[in-house]
Amino acid sequence: MSGSEGSSGHSAGDPPPPAAVKKKDKAKVSRTSLILWHAHQNDPAAVRKLLEEDRSLVQARDYDNRTPLHVASLHGWIEVAKCLIEYGADVNAQDRWKNTPLADAEGARKHNMIELLKSYGGLSYGQNGSHFEPRPVPPPLSNKCDWEIDPQELDFTNSHLIGKGSFGEIVKACWRGTPVAVKRILPSLSDDKLVIQDFRHEVNLLVKLRHPNIVQFLGAVTEKKPLMLITEYLRGGDLHQCLKGKGALSPATAVNFALDMARGMAYLHNEPNVIIHRDLKPRNVLLVNSNADHLKVGDFGLSKLIRVQNSHDIYKMTGETGSYRYMAPEVFKHRKYDKKVDVFSFAMILYEMLEGEPPLSNLEAYEAAKYVAEGHRPIFKSKGYTPELKELTENCWAADMNKRPSFLDILKRLEKIKETIQPDHHWHIFT
């Protein structure tokens, strides 16, 4: 054994000691970040110097699997890109999101870079590129495996139409042996970007909601067409049908229904994430069963989730959203509005439950909304209106939205009113 071999402690054939490997790896990591940094800083000379020392750095990757060419392409640094391509950069390398450098350049509208990459055979793939359009709708949430439903699990053999919406229909179907309500996007609209956006928005909202007075979301079909949203099926139908069939409700039933609605709405309006329903009307309030003893609020197609610093923030949202007959005047007039629009709609529904007919039923829906926006309100005719109920309704439809009570206040007042009203089987003796 020669002296030199003895002093180093290992022969050329042996692997280097762990410390040396670590040091080498560390050097490699720092040079990886260096080349990415120089590419980011638009320093072609520094990039070239690093590549002269170690050609393999041209394939360096960061945590998101992005190469120096991705970085240069996004910023439009032509000289850096040319240098990287000269040293053999893969023009079609894909990052964590499957984006190629060309997709990044297209996303950032760097036209010279787009031409350069195309001249070297660059293709556009991934979320930003021109090939992105025909891909299926990306799932709304990362952990969607919990609720993505395979459409083959839905049985439509005995299905029937429950309702029609603005961009689809709602049918009763069967899922794993259970009756469910399925909101199906019309095939003709399945490629409409705005419809898809609204659909995903509704799914995103529903996934987060858990409350006994809110229709329960069960799952969605987002990976195949038609897009579908699956919720629990409520046998009692909607409040609109119920009132059409029965006419005015007894004060006791009306107050119980109002309590259920207010509980659901108080939950939606709670900070930090306020959900404004924006289309509260009898058709969107569902009865749990045919005995009609409980209600749930449904159809969140127009709802807006707002992250608020405090609940008095006011939002400029699209005017004339929702159904005219139950619409708050500030929405009709395209003014700024907040969650109190739902309180106004609630007052109109309370009125309808006690009167047995829609508010301002002598007018067309649009005319009714216009009449209300001019400061008029429906007239109380029913004997079922106690002074407290009348006062509550008037407070809820106040022209100044700041004077309308919150749903938490409404709940307290309804609880008190409930104590003063005789239960159903006695009430008709007194009228």
| φ, ψ (nearest 5 deg) of residue 183 | -95, 115
Buried b / exposed e over 365-396, threshold 16 CB at 10 Å, is eeebbbbbbeeebbeeebebbeeebeebbebb
User: Counting Cβ atoms within 10 Å, is residue 176 exposed (0-12), middle (13-18) or buried (19+)?
Assistant: exposed
Establish whether the linkage from the previous residue to 18 is cis, with ω within 30° of 0.
no
Structure tokens at 406: 């919150």
User: 340 labelled as ligand-binding?
Assistant: no
Distance CA 99, CA 129 (A): 7
Neighbours of 108 (CB within 10 A): 15
338 is catalytic: no
Distance CA 240, CA 127 (A): 44
Q: Which of 260, 279, 299, 342 is catalytic?
A: 279
Roughly how many angstroms between the first and final C-alpha of the chain, as a whole number?
Answer: 116
Which parts are annotated binding residues for ATP?
183
Binding residues: 183
**Catalytic residue annotation:** 279
